[in-house]
């Protein structure tokens, strides 16, 4: 049987490729579980020092597989709250709470939950041909997979509402201009640049990078005082890492640091 998520681990980079290209990598149950298992592994395995998420074929991810629950077959209305709670929410929480960098290479269309999973990653690069679509309103649903949260926080209400209510496609270029993603890149260079970025972060001081992610994510809900306390605590922890000692030693010896992720 074809794997729904292709997995490689090379030099600390765990590359996860959503792999249902004939359905634009939309989520069925198997792909949900396979992706979640790999993010759990990224939490637990010290050999994983960065994650790179992308899609196979011409799309990144078209959200939920709409063929999974065909209303024409009849039966009671499905409990989509259960689907969200069982499949999307755990993955979203795992991605945000993973104290290692997660890079997303959006290689093509990202629709519905597919777009919002991308926005939950730490650094999002997209091919210039890619589009982000809050497709939910077209089928009578609401943004999920954290989309209502990330769009409203990053873009503010006017743009978040317009995107979600109209389901108008947002180009990669405009997503970058609006600060929703890090960069739009030429299609031909996307994967090379994303792999280089992931490799460079995987060779970095993993503990410090993870604490940095925690700090930035805490800022929106912390007061300045709370944030200053958290910076103090994280800096204390980072300062005790062997990567900090290596970083300063390498600087003093005018050489490249060799971080071990400890
Ligand atoms: C698909 C899909 C797809 C199945 C393309 N499913 N086959 C939902 C429900 C339950 C619980 C909780 O959460 C959610 C969250 C959500 O994600 S709701 C939003 C679900 N996604 C969508 O509504 C997007 C549906 N897809 C589209 O609108 C288009 O396919 C886009 C705009 C993404 C791409 O358009 P095109 O480039 O023109 O490609 P296409 O439409 O021709 O699709 C290619 C194939 O992929 C096609 O299959 P076929 O056998 O005809 O070649 C599509 O049926 C299939 N596909 N998305 N979500």
Distant-in-sequence, close-in-space partners of 135: CB < 8 Å, separation ≥ 6: 62, 63, 111, 112, 167
Architecture of the domain defined by 206-252: Orthogonal Bundle (1.10)
| Whether residue 1 has pLDDT greater than 80 | no
| Whether residue 2 has pLDDT greater than 90 | no
pLDDT digits (tens, 9 = 90+) for 76-101: 889 999 999 999 999 999 999 999 99
Structure tokens at 230: 């958290």
Architecture of the domain defined by 5-202: Alpha-Beta Complex (3.90)
pLDDT in the model for residue 70 = 87
State the average pLDDT for the chain.
97
pLDDT in the model for residue 69 = 85
Nearest-atom number in ligand 1 for the CA of 83 is: 11
Mean pLDDT of all residues in 136-144: 98
Mean pLDDT of all residues in 185-191: 98
Mean pLDDT of all residues in 151-176: 98
Nearest-atom number in ligand 1 for the CA of 84 is: 12
Which of 20-29, 62-71, 87-96, 161-170 has the weakest average pLDDT?
62-71
Mean pLDDT of all residues in 3-32: 98
What CA–CA distance (Å, rounded) separates 163 from 190? 25
Task: Provide residues with CB under 6 Å of ligand 1.
Answer: 23-24, 26, 62-67, 80, 83-84, 109, 111-113, 133, 135-136, 138-139, 141, 144
Q: What percent of the chain has pLDDT over 90?
A: 96
Domain boundary assignment for the chain: 5-202, 206-252
What CA–CA distance (Å, rounded) separates 203 from 247? 12
pLDDT in the model for residue 239 = 98
What CA–CA distance (Å, rounded) separates 252 from 143? 50
Cα(62) to centroid of ligand 1, in Å?
Answer: 5
Structure tokens at 191: 């994967």
| Whether residue 136 has pLDDT greater than 90 | yes
Closest protein CA for atom 47 of ligand 1: 23
Distant-in-sequence, close-in-space partners of 28: CB < 8 Å, separation ≥ 6: 4, 20, 65, 68
Mean pLDDT of all residues in 129-147: 98
The enclosing H or E element of 171 equals: strand 170-171
Closest protein CA for atom 19 of ligand 1: 112
Look up the pTM and report it.
0.98
pLDDT confidence bin for 212, thresholds 50/70/90: very high
Q: What percent of the chain has pLDDT over 70?
A: 100
Closest protein CA for atom 4 of ligand 1: 65
pLDDT digits (tens, 9 = 90+) for 229-247: 999 999 999 999 999 999 9
Nearest-atom number in ligand 1 for the CA of 78 is: 10
pLDDT confidence bin for 198, thresholds 50/70/90: very high
Cα(136) to centroid of ligand 1, in Å?
Answer: 11
């Amino acid at each position: 049987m074809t794997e729904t998520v292709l997995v490689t681990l090379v030099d600390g980079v765990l590359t996860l490729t959503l792999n249902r290209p004939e359905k634009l990598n939309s989520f069925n149950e198997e792909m949900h579980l396979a992706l979640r298992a790999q993010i759990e592994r990224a939490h637990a395995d010290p050999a994983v020092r960065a994650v790179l998420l992308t899609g196979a074929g011409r799309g990144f991810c078209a959200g939920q597989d709409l063929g999974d629950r065909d209303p024409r077959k009849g039966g009671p209305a499905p409990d989509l709250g259960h689907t969200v709670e069982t499949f999307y929410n755990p993955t979203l929480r795992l991605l945000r709470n993973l104290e290692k960098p997660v890079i997303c290479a959006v290689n093509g269309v990202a629709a519905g939950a597919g777009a919002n999973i991308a926005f939950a990653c730490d650094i999002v690069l997209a091919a210039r041909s890619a589009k982000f679509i809050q497709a939910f309103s077209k089928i009578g649903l609401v943004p999920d997979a954290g989309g209502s949260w990330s769009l409203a926080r990053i873009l503010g209400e006017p743009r978040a509402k317009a995107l979600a209510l109209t389901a108008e496609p947002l180009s990669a270029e405009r997503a970058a201009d609006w600060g929703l993603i890090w960069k739009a890149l030429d299609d031909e260079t996307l994967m090379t640049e994303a792999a280089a970025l992931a490799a460079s972060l995987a060779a970095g001081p993993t503990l410090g990078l993870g604490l940095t992610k925690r700090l930035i994510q805490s800022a929106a809900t912390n007061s300045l005082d709370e944030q200053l306390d958290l910076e103090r605590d994280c800096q204390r922890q980072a300062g005790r890492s062997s990567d900090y000692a290596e970083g300063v030693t390498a600087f003093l010896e005018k050489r490249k640091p060799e971080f071990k992720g400890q």
